[in-house]
Every structure is written in structure tokens, then in C-alpha cells.
Amino acid sequence: MSTFALQISAWVEKTKSNADQVTRYALMEIDKRIINRSPVGDPKYWKHNPNAPKVFGKFGATGPKKDWQLGFLSGETSSYRMGGAGYVGGRFRANWQMSIGTPAGGVLDAIDQDGKATLDSHAIVVSIAKAGQVFYLMNNLPYAQCIERGWSRQAPVGVVALTVVEWNNIVNDAVNGVRAGTSVADFKQGYESYGL
């Protein structure tokens, strides 16, 4: 094989490696943005809190309304303010599932309030990602589409849509980082340091 052919072969291998690296960086950033933007439920912000008392009429009610009025007017904790007792948010955030080739099915029985466990579980997929593969980041909870349509105060424009708008910047940052010789460790440290 000639020297030129060897140089071309080395360039092709480097380009493949760089494309895989760009894919991993972009996938890692998309994953992080979607997970961190995913709202974590808080009953005090629910429009329809199933634990809230039913109030009929303006005055003179007994039962839940009376307790609610006493708590509200006196500064004490009322039964209304305790609505959602025992609820722990983070199920939506924990149900993001990453896969290669085919979408993940089913719903996970997990809670992840800060997103760390979910990102850690996706790290395996990100580490083996190669350019040209099809990646899926799915949330199969029945209310996922509602959250994407803005039903959450924490994500009024959705979660995925905002990340899709940022797609070109994410890829450009990944390409520029690879061109500059940024390593995987440098990218990861940068994302963690700046909370990206």
C-alpha cells in the first residue's frame, strides 16, 4: 500500500472516531438538557389537587372548608395545605429511557428528583454510541405528552421542543470541541462545572 493510501486510511479512521465522539458529546448534552428540564411534581402547584377539600358555598361550611379557613386565617396548617401528603415527585424525570435502534417500551417504577440516577443509567448507552445509529430518548408515562404541551409551570414550553430548537448549537459546540481536541473527560467536567 502506498504512503498516500495509508494517509487516507488514517484520515478515514480519525474521521470515524471524531464522528463517534461528536455523536457522544451531542447525545450527552441532549440527554442532560431533557432530564434537567423535566419537571418534578409538587402538589402545592397542582390545579386539581385530589387531596384538596371540596368547598361548597362561601360561608358557614363545616368539615374540610372549616378546617381550611381556620388554617388559612390563623396561619396554621390546614388540610388543604397538606394536600398531596406522602407524594414524592420525580417519576417523570426517572422515566426517560435511552436506547439504540428501537424505542424502549413500558414505564419504570422509579423516582429521581435530581436526575442523577437517570443520567447515570444513560451513560452506558452514551459510551457505546456511534455515528449513524438511531437513538431514542423516550418517556412512556401517560402524562408525558401533556407536560410537553405545557401543562407544567416548571416546563411551560415543554421539555423536548426546547431542546430541539437548540439542536444546531448543541451539535456545533460538540464539533468545535472535537476540533479543538477536547477530551470526553474535559466535556464531562465542563458540563458538571457549569451545570449544563
Find out whether 83 and 116 touch, Cβ atoms under 8 Å. Answer: no
DSSP 85-146: TT----HHHHTEEEEESS---S------SSSHHHHHHHHHHHHT--TT--EEEEE--TTHHH
| Closest to 41 in 3D by CA, of 5, 93, 100 | 93
Q: Hey, what's the cell of 35?
A: 432530564
DSSP letter at 78?
A: P
The number of residues making up the chain comes to 196
pLDDT in tens, 157-186: 999 999 999 998 998 888 888 877 766 566
Once rounded to an integer, what is the mean pLDDT over residues 140-164?
92
| Amino acid 79: pLDDT | 40
pLDDT digits (tens, 9 = 90+) for 13-72: 655 678 888 899 999 999 999 999 999 987 776 666 665 555 544 444 444 444 444 444
pLDDT confidence of residue 196:
43
